[in-house]
Structure 1
């Protein structure tokens, strides 16, 4: 059904209960696995590399609002920005990835983290906002 809707999938495992908004902007590479209950707000493109594990209830949000100057309505103009998840990464349960973020290859993002800026490859990221906790082995 996802392929019919325009989602580009490699040879991947996807459990039930996913939600895709404008889902034809999603590409998921070979060997990746998407757990239950994830949301792909793909008004902008979402690219997930090969062999990526995504835990349950994650949120990938490509759109947001600029903060408006008007005190009566702060949600200003809508903006869109792509999300990229590098190959070999592991995104823990309930992670939120915000617009414009790239997560480098081989990263681990701890459960419950909110990723607000780019993550350099081969690092463990945790917290709100997510920050690099330590380097991960590359060999």
Structure 2
């Protein structure tokens, strides 16, 4: 069954660049934030973007099927209060240009994915990445830099050799 992309604005805003491809089941929910999508971006089947804290996706980004980007966390510190009644913590998700996010990845509030990164399938990322890094796992960790041979360290400036 084919499901068309769905957009929810509520008190937020969605800005979509040129040549953006959205496959079946994509959900973009700005909530109270702003979701900005650059040019030449592809959102594959069942990608979910939840934008309470804001989401900015750069140009030439590929996001594979069933990936989720969430720009807020639920509060849960007070055990005497229902979780649903505790305040949200909003924190933007930023994805720079030329990034590939693998199938089923989870990008959590406050994450900043640097230019040229690859985030492996099923990875759970929270925090910042290094440019051109390849990250995998849960939690996601730097495996190597693009352009390096396996097991080869970067040069002294940190760039791929």
Q: TM-score, normalised by structure 2?
A: 0.77
Among candidates 37, 46, 63, match of residue 46 of structure 2:
37
Give the distance between the partners of 2:144 and 2:25, measured in 1 at CA.
Answer: 33
User: Any runs of at least 4 consecutive aligned residues in structure 1 with deviations exceeding 6 A, and if so which?
Assistant: 1-4
CA contact 1:60–1:83 (8 Å) conserved in 2: yes
- Report the equivalent of 2:142: 132
Among candidates 36, 46, 53, match of residue 55 of structure 2:
46
| Alignment length (residue pairs) | 139
Gap regions ≥5 residues in structure 2:
148-159
1:28-107 to structure 2, matched below 5 A, reads: 28-70=37-79, 73=82, 76-107=86-117
Change (3 A) 1:72 1:29: closer
Q: TM-score, normalised by structure 1?
A: 0.88
CA RMSD of aligned residues (A): 2.4
Change (3 A) 1:56 1:4: closer
* Structure with greater contact order relative to length (CA < 8 Å, sep ≥ 6): 1
Find out whether 1:117 has 2:113 as its counterpart: no
- 1:113 is displaced (CA, Å) by 0.1
Bigger fraction of residues in strand: 1
CA contact 2:21–2:43 (8 Å) conserved in 1: yes
- 1:73 is displaced (CA, Å) by 4.4
